[in-house]
Amino acid sequence: MPPTRATFDVFFRQVPDQGSFVVAAGLQQVVQALNNFHFDEDDLAYLRSLDLYNERFLTMLRTIKLDCTVQAVPEGLPVFPREPLMTVTGPIAQAQMLETLILNILNHQSLIATKSRRINFAAAGRPVMEFGARRAQGPDSAVYGTRAAVIGGCGSTSNVLAAKMFGIPAAGTMAHSWVESFNSELDAFRAWARMYPDNSALLVDTYDVLGSGVPHAITVFKELAAAGHQPVGIRIDSGDITALAKAARAMLDAAGFPEAKITASNALNEQIITSLLQESAPIDNFGVGEELITSSSAPVLSGVYKLAAIEQDGQVVPKMKLSASKAKVTLPGRKQVYRLYRPGAHTAFADVIALADEAVAGQPLTAVNSDPLSTHKEVTLTDYEARPLLQSVTSAASVDDVFAIQHRSQTWLRELPAPVLRLVNPDTYHVYLAPQLAQLQAGLLRELRGN
Q: Show contacts with its own copies in window 153-182 (CB under 8 A).
A: 159-160, 164, 170, 175-178, 180-181
Closer CB to its own copies, 133 or 352, in the complex: 133
Cβ(368)–Cβ(379) under 8 Å?
A: yes
State the minimum distance, in angstroms, from the CB of residue 119 to its own copies: 15
Instruction: Say how many residues touch its own copies, by CB under 8 A.
Output: 80
* 197 counts as binding its own copies under rule CB under 8 A: no
CA separation for the pair 171, 188 (Å, rounded): 19
* 138 counts as binding its own copies under rule CB under 8 A: yes
Enumerate residues 432-451 that contact its own copies by CB under 8 A. 448, 451
* 265 counts as binding its own copies under rule CB under 8 A: no
Instruction: Give the list of residues 6+ apart from residue 392 with CB closer than 8 angstroms, or none.
Output: 69, 70, 71
Q: Which stretch binds its own copies (CB under 8 A): 58-66, 135-143, 422-430, 434-442?
A: 135-143
β-sheet bridge partners, residue 90: 6
- For the chain, how big is the Rg over CA atoms in Å? 26
Among 345, 362, 335, 341, residue whose Cα is nearest residue 433: 335
DSSP state, residue 396: G
* 4 counts as binding its own copies under rule CB under 8 A: yes
Closer CB to its own copies, 178 or 349, in the complex: 178
CA separation for the pair 216, 202 (Å, rounded): 9
β-sheet bridge partners, residue 8: 88, 307
Q: Which of 14, 32, 35, 323 binds its own copies (CB under 8 A)?
A: 323
Q: What residue type is 270 in one-letter code?
A: E
Distance of CA 367 to the CA centre of its chain: 29
The three-class DSSP label of residue 292 is helix
Q: Which of 32, 35, 59, 302 binds its own copies (CB under 8 A)?
A: 302
Enumerate residues 78-117 that contact its own copies by CB under 8 A. 92, 96, 99-100, 103-105, 107-108, 111-112
State the minimum distance, in angstroms, from the CB of residue 419 to its own copies: 29
* 8 counts as binding its own copies under rule CB under 8 A: yes
Among 445, 432, 329, residue whose Cα is nearest residue 376: 432
Closer CB to its own copies, 352 or 437, in the complex: 437
Q: Which of 17, 64, 126, 141 binds its own copies (CB under 8 A)?
A: 141
